Amino acid sequence: MHLYNAWLPPAVADAARGEAAAFTGAVRAAKGAWRPDDPDSAYATLKWISVFDLFIKAKSNVAPEDIHALVELGFGIFHASQNKFVVQIKWGGLLIRLFKKHVERLSLDVQWRPLYETLIQTHFKRNMGPEGWKVRQQHFETITGLVRASRTFFPEGAAAEIWLEFRFGSFCLLIFLDSLAYYPV
């Protein structure tokens, strides 16, 4: 139980101790709602985002393996939901909040190339979809925020790969690089 929850009455504190098991069940239920072979099942997972937000706001002590499983699920849904901006905005926002809260508890590798390809395909190509400018702006802010939040988890050597990609091209996409990364000359 988090220090913020220590003041709770004993009956409520006992119920709060079961939050880790409830979080595990919620992750399992969200995994069950998403089927990778059905692209529309991503919409069925959106109802779980508010539940996960409650666990984040309540400062619940949850197992790192459950957080890792949720991050893997979130990235799976995010990458499988190309051209579903609402799904990507919701799951991207949740991943950003998870990274901000649990950055020191996570050990994983996030590949930068799928995030880059999503950004390029969505915002730097001439595919004008039916969504409006506000949704596109939210999507752009979400994906750039997700890149910034997850770049500490980019694998070893990713900074050199990114520099090779952008060396002679657009330097506006340097958000993929960590500020402390090695920049070859």
What are the tens digits of pLDDT across the range 1-31?
Answer: 566 667 778 887 777 778 888 999 999 999 9
Find the distance separating the first CA and the last CA of the chain, reported in whole Å. 49
| H-helix or E-strand spanning residue 113 | helix 112-123
What is the reported pTM?
A: 0.81
DSSP annotation string for 53-65: HHHHHTT----HH
Two structure tokens written together for 52: 């996960």
pLDDT tens for 65-90 read 999 999 999 999 999 998 889 999 99
What are the tens digits of pLDDT across the range 28-65? Answer: 999 999 999 988 899 999 999 999 999 988 877 888 99
Dihedral angle sign, alpha carbons of residues 82, 86, 89, 94: negative
